[in-house]
Amino acid sequence: MKNSYNYRHLYYFWVVAKEGSMSKAAERLDMATQTISAQVHELEKSLGYLLFKPAGRGITLTESGLVAVKIADQIFSIGETLPEALRDAAKFQKIKLTVGVSDGLPKLITRQLLEPILTRKDVQLIVHEGEFDDLLADLALHRLDIILADRPAPNNKNLNVYSEELTKTSIAWFSPKQFLKKAKNDFPQCLNEIPILMPTSHSTVRNLIDQWFSKKNITPNIVGEFEDSALLKTFAASGLGVFPAGKLIEKDLKETYGIELIGDCEEIYEYFYAIRSEKKIQHPLVHAIIKQLN
C-alpha cells in the first residue's frame, strides 16, 4: 500500500516530540510556530489519528503519537547514518575497467600488459576474451574500455578507434626437460625430428615462423596446433613437444611450467597493441596501462 503521508511532515512531528513543544521545535528548525503546527496537523489528517493532545499549557503525545514517535526514531536514526555510509562508499569505491582480450594474445603476455593496474586496490577488472573483429564491434559500442591484441585495428575511416603499440618481443624456441639436451646440442636442426607444437594461423607470427622454417631448410615435425596459447603451454609442459613463444615470458615459462629457452627465432617479433575508442585518453586505468608500458 502506498504511503499517503509526507516524510517532511513526519520529521517536523518528530522534532516537536523530541523538543516537547511547538515553539521549541520551531526555534530548532528556524521556522514559524504556526508553520510547524500546520505541518503536524497535515500529518495527523493524512494518517487519520491525533498525535498530540493538550496537557496543561503545553502538549503531550497521544497513544497513537507514542507509536508514531518510536517508528520515527527508527526512520531518522537510520537516516542520520546516510552521510557516513556514503563517505565509506566513496572511500572504497572501485574503478571498473572492462578489457577485451584478443583470443590470439598469449595469456602470460596479457597478465604482463595489465600488470600496471593489478596491484591497485581500487580496481574492478572485467576481462572478455573473443574474436578480434567481435571485440572491435564491442569497443565501438562502448561495451569495452580497451582492447589488448597482437595486431592494430585495421585502417577504416568508419571505425573510429585508435591503436597504440605497447611493447614487442622477439620469438624464441622453448622446450620441456624431456627434449632439452637434444634440442640445445643441435639447434635449430633438431626441429626436423623433435615434436613441435605450433600456434594456429590465428596468431600473427605463425606465417613468419613457417617462413623461418623454409629459410633454415627445416621440415618441422608438427604434432599439434593450438589457438589457445595457455593450452599449448600446458601440453608442452607435459612433454608433448617444443614450441615458439615470446622471450618476454621466458621467466614465467621457467617458473610456472619448468620450460627453458633453447634458441632464438631470429628477426621475428610479436607486437602487442592497446586499442581504444577515445582519441584523448579519459579513463585513468587505460592511461595507466599505456603510460607505464610505453
Report which of 188, 259, 184 is spatially closest to residue 221, judged by C-alpha positions: 188
Calpha distance 255→241 (Å, rounded): 18
Calpha distance 32→70 (Å, rounded): 25
Average pLDDT score over residue span 270-287: 85
Give me the residue label for grid cell 643441435.
Answer: 186
Strand 123-130 to 95-102 pairing:
parallel
Domains 95-167+273-293 and 168-270 share a fold: yes
Average pLDDT score over residue span 79-100: 78
Q: CATH class for domain 7-88? A: mainly alpha
Helix (H), strand (E), coil (C) string for the chain: CCCCCCHHHHHHHHHHHHHCCHHHHHHHHCCCHHHHHHHHHHHHHHHCCCCEEEECCEEEECHHHHHHHHHHHHHHHHHHCHHHHHHHHHHCCCEEEEEEEECCCCHHHHHHHHHHHHCCCCEEEEEEEECHHHHHHHHHCCCCCEEEECCCCCCCCCCCCEEEEEEEEEEEEEECHHHHHHHHHCCCHHHHCCEEEEECCCCCCHHHHHHHHHHCCCCCEEEEEECCHHHHHHHHHCCCCEEEEEHHHHHHHHHHHCCEEEEEEEEEEEEEEEEECCCCCCCHHHHHHHHHHC
pLDDT at 203: 87
Encode pLDDT of 167-218 as tens digits.
Answer: 999 999 999 999 998 888 889 999 999 999 999 988 889 999 999 999 999 9
Confidence at 90, pLDDT banded by 50, 70, 90: low
Average pLDDT, the chain: 89
pLDDT at 231: 92
pLDDT at 294: 52
Calpha distance 259→178 (Å, rounded): 10
CATH of domain 95-167+273-293: 3.40.190.10
Domain ranges of the chain: 7-88, 95-167+273-293, 168-270
Calpha distance 253→229 (Å, rounded): 12
Confidence at 1, pLDDT banded by 50, 70, 90: very low
The fraction of the chain above a pLDDT of 70, given in percent, is 95
Encode pLDDT of 14-37 as tens digits.
Answer: 999 999 999 999 999 999 999 999
Encode pLDDT of 137-164 as tens digits.
Answer: 899 888 999 999 999 998 876 778 889 9
Give Dmax over CA atoms of the chain in angstroms: 112
Average pLDDT score over residue span 276-282: 78
What is 168-270's CATH topology?
Answer: D-Maltodextrin-Binding Protein; domain 2 (3.40.190)
- Is this model's pTM higher than 0.85 or not? no
Residue 2, pLDDT above cutoff 60: no
Give per-residue burial for 7-35: e unless 16+ CB within 10 Å, then b.
eebbbbbbbbbebeebebbbeebeeeeee
